[in-house]
Amino acid sequence: MLAETLNNYLKENNIRILGEPMANENTPPIDWEKQEVFEFHFDLGISPDIDVNISKKDKVNEYHISVTEEMIDKQVEDNARRFAIFEPSEIVAEEDMVKGDLCEISEHGHVHDHEHEHDHDHDHDHDHDHQHEIHAHGAMIHVLSIADENIKKQFIGAGVNDTIVFNPKIAFPNDTDRAALLKISKEQAMEINGDFEFTISEVSRFKPAEIDQSLFDKTYGVGEIDSMEAYRTRVREDIDRRYSRESRYKFHVETKEKLMAKTEVPLPEAFLKRWMLATSTDEKLTPEQLEQEFPAFGLDLKWRMIKNHFINEVKIEATEEEIREQAVWTAQSRYFQYGIYDAPVEQLFRFADALLKNNEEKQKIADVILENKVIDHVKTLIKVDEKEVSLEDFNKLTD
């Protein structure tokens, strides 16, 4: 009842607060049996009024990255490599995939027998006295991924049935990669630091796809592109779109920095720190740790208040249709992170639907839309200086 009364008072008097009301330490003691009138004191973190002082005198650069013929050439080559095939070969080259048996060599220089052979078709109990006696049958090595140049040179020029001796820990420093190669647990892989003998049984040559109609169809769909000229035009558009997102992001960041620098937001820091300590779910949070973390929290809160100022002033909102479109783009971006650039539309839609069923994910997507719209609105209030730059110069600006 007390909380409800307090909240109603704040609403009726249009008092905007940060955090939640906290009991004042000087509240007088209460005699619940004798008193008829009770007095409660609360501390509030009053939300400050915001005056965003920007105008056409404020300038932000907006960059457009020039797409060159060299960039198109490289992307066409990358597309050909993306749809590459592996063909049988006799001699190993740097980009080849090599298959063979990988056997640990004992301290006495002998190759261990096959008693402890590991393959994909059988599960083994590795918790035994000879867990390091390893024979990985059908091990696959991509020569280009070998970290040590001297070991890599041993492979290049070797042929089927040749034997190479090397230390997997030096060739593949990453424990997870080494465990996958040897077909053992990551914990076992971390303990291994000796030589192995690798006998080559197959060599597969990496061969980029031919740049022809077949590549056009694989890249953009059957019948979508019917000539090299049309293919390069489409590639140019893709590159332009990709770098437009990067330049938009830079404009977004610089506009946000301009707003933050031009806007005074006096926060009730002492109250907020007290409130954060009282409500934190991290039991180990100390006042000293909070002092270190508060500046970042303060900047984030300041930006949210500036953003909400425009959202309320201009009545900015994110529609369900916009949220769905952004969810599909979010799904596509996550596939891009794993090198998947041609996920089927139906798959993207399913991924987007899954994201939207999670209320937290949906709110994040809506926040992205709202923030983009705020930046678009601010763009109309300031001076935007458009600049054409090369990719090299743009990268220097972002370093």
pLDDT one-digit tens code per residue, 199-235: 999 999 999 999 999 999 999 989 999 999 999 999 9
* Predicted local distance difference test score (pLDDT) of residue 340: 76
| Average pLDDT value for residue range 297-325 | 95
Question: Is pLDDT of 169 > 80?
Answer: yes
Question: Is pLDDT of 116 > 50?
Answer: no
Global pTM? 0.72
Mean of per-residue pLDDT scores for the chain: 89
Of the chain, the percentage scoring pLDDT greater than 70 comes to 93
Domains 59-74+233-398 and 85-207 fall in the same CATH topology: no
* Predicted local distance difference test score (pLDDT) of residue 108: 60
User: Domain 85-207: which topology?
Assistant: Chitinase A; domain 3 (3.10.50)
* Predicted local distance difference test score (pLDDT) of residue 106: 79
Question: Is pLDDT of 129 > 90?
Answer: no
* Predicted local distance difference test score (pLDDT) of residue 112: 54
Of the chain, the percentage scoring pLDDT greater than 90 comes to 69
Give domain 59-74+233-398's CATH architecture. Orthogonal Bundle (1.10)
Long-range Cβ contacts of 248-254 (<8 Å, 24+ apart)? 250/63, 250/394, 250/397, 250/398, 251/60, 251/61, 251/62, 251/63, 251/375, 251/379, 252/371, 252/372, 252/375, 254/60, 254/61
Tell me, rounded to whole angstroms, the distance of Cα 308 from its chain centroid. 26
pLDDT band at 119 (very low <50, low <70, confident <90, very high): very low
Domain boundaries, the chain: 2-46, 59-74+233-398, 85-207
pLDDT band at 121 (very low <50, low <70, confident <90, very high): very low
| Average pLDDT value for residue range 290-297 | 93
| Average pLDDT value for residue range 170-183 | 94
* Predicted local distance difference test score (pLDDT) of residue 190: 93
Reduced to 3 DSSP states, what percent helix, strand and coil does the chain have, rounded to the nearest 5? Answer: 50, 15, 35
Task: Count other Cβ atoms within 10 Å, centred on residue 231.
Answer: 22
Q: What is the pLDDT of residues 266-289, one digit of tens each?
A: 999 999 999 998 888 888 889 999
Question: Is pLDDT of 126 > 80?
Answer: no
Task: Count other Cβ atoms within 10 Å, centred on residue 392.
Answer: 8
Task: Count other Cβ atoms within 10 Å, centred on residue 280.
Answer: 12
* Predicted local distance difference test score (pLDDT) of residue 1: 62
